[in-house]
Amino acid sequence: MSAARGAVPPEPAVGIIGGSGLYEMDGIEDLRWVRVRTPFGEPSDEFGTGRLGDRRVIFLPRHGRGHRLSPTEINYRANIWGLKSLGARWVVSVSAVGSMKEDIHPLDLVIPDQFYDHTRRRVSSFFGEGIVGHVGMADPVCPSLGDLLEAAGREAGARVHRGGTYICIEGPQFSTKGESQIYRRWGVSVIGMTNMPEAKLAREAELCYATLALTTDYDVWHESHAAVTVEAVVANLLKNVATAQVVLRRMIPRVGKPCTASSATMAPKATKDDASAAIAAASAPASARKMRAWGKPAAIGRAKSTASRSKLMLESLTICARASMPAMPACFST
């Protein structure tokens, strides 16, 4: 499916990105799987849409059902595009992580408020190819979603840590001891492989985003604990999934209106000497047409033809075009 111009926007939904155990939790009704075509290729899998109480929910298995995709192979742009096109306004990323601090124990829950992108091979923006957009990332996590996750986690009896930095590495290999010690000196709280560029793209898409990090191990830095193994991660993750289900069942019905701060997406500053910066609709590159079909604000880029430059108007340097779908509020904290 794809968003049709002039169509009635879908009912606002909470998007959940995570593993198979999440959409199998009690209380989900009318679950059906929907395939979404995107301008950025295939998402990780079909999207599971259903209801939890009065709230519409959308589930996406990040690695695909059957865990078919490595962290590098995940099509993050298609995943976020698909969620937004189906009506997601909030996104909760449920992710397995390693602890980088003594007081964050395996099986603890962490709600980070910062990210460090240490990946190397991933496309991290919807912009480019003729469209330039600058997006604020100082506070990448929606504090309202964080509050709800923290409250639900404590009610579920979990040990919850609020705040801290999630470092995202490329993977699929785990860290060396040298890398792990360096990351510790950087002051990060947890380490994972999937939240970047996911969080960046959610911000560009103006979706409220937060992570529920499930701690499975101490990476490889801890002298008195065994180094991380796949077996240890899976064993603790299975225990954490049951807790995550309880947290989500408590949290999702409480989600209210999206954050109402200003748009995250900004056109670059322009001057009279930068006249070639406007994109005329008739000559917009393919990437611009993709974003307009999605309803994404198309920030002003550089014109590629004399015809487009001739259509330049000064106000076009500071106005972003919007199309079929209404813009979803960003989640800046103030």
CA 248-250-256 angle, to 5 degrees, is 90
Q: Which residues are catalytic?
A: 217, 219
76: three-class secondary structure by DSSP: helix
Q: CA–CA separation, 12 vs 88, rounded Å?
A: 6
Range list of β-strands (E), 35-144:
47-52, 55-61, 88-99, 109-111, 114-118, 134-135
Q: CA–CA separation, 4 vs 223, rounded Å?
A: 56
Q: CA–CA separation, 211 vs 112, rounded Å?
A: 7
Q: CA–CA separation, 278 vs 317, rounded Å?
A: 6
| Distance set, CA 120 to CA 97, 115, 146, 169 (Å) | 19, 15, 28, 8
Taking the CA atoms of 307, 309, 311 and 316 in sequence, report the sign of the dihedral they define: positive
Token pair, residue 162, equals: 């609020």
